[in-house]
Amino acid sequence: MPDVINANQFLEELENTHIVLFHDGNNETKETECNFIKKGLENGQHCFYTTQTPQKILDEMKEFGINVENNELLHIVEIPKEFDDYSKMILDEVKALPEEAKIRVISTHYFDFNTEEKTDRMAEIEQCVDDGFEKINGNFLCSFEVSQINQNLRDRFLNQLLESHKAIIFQTEAKGTEVFTTP
């Protein structure tokens, strides 16, 4: 049975953990993502946010009270609009993360996961990140809006992602926040 708790508190209790966040695109999710970055910056950590919409994310961070101007600890990484270009790019970005500094990463995934090929490739990418996770000195939060995943592929894909993450957060407007951890 999952625990219903505050996602922000839960994320602050984790150390060096690969986390998946499944959500319905609600405002609480945006607050969770921004708070994750804000707390990291306050702790002097390098914070990376991968997104297809950098300006939108910067505007949301400003609204949340995050200093985005000339902030050497904040790294916004624009990801390609097409999934095929994304898969190689994200693995290269993970390899380039600073090993000596404490970091936080949010990787958003707003692709239409509408084929088994895409879901299998994404699961493979997540497994590659997890396989090399000992090189990541911090927390890595992978954010997926469930409505972007084809309903016929959804259960299979979610199960694939559960295999490569140590903590799972389900955050929906209807049910609130539920948290699971894996051994």
Q: How confident is the model at residue 1 (pLDDT cuts 50, 70, 90)?
A: very low
* 123-133 mean pLDDT: 84
CA-based nearest residue to 112, from 84, 70, 73, 141: 84
Cβ-count burial 34-49 (b if 16+ within 10 Å, e if not) = bbbbbebbeeebbbbb
Least-confidence region, from 64-68, 134-138, 159-163: 134-138
Considering only residues 111 and 127, tell me which one the structure prediction assigns the higher pLDDT.
127
CA dist., res. 153 & res. 65, Å (int): 38
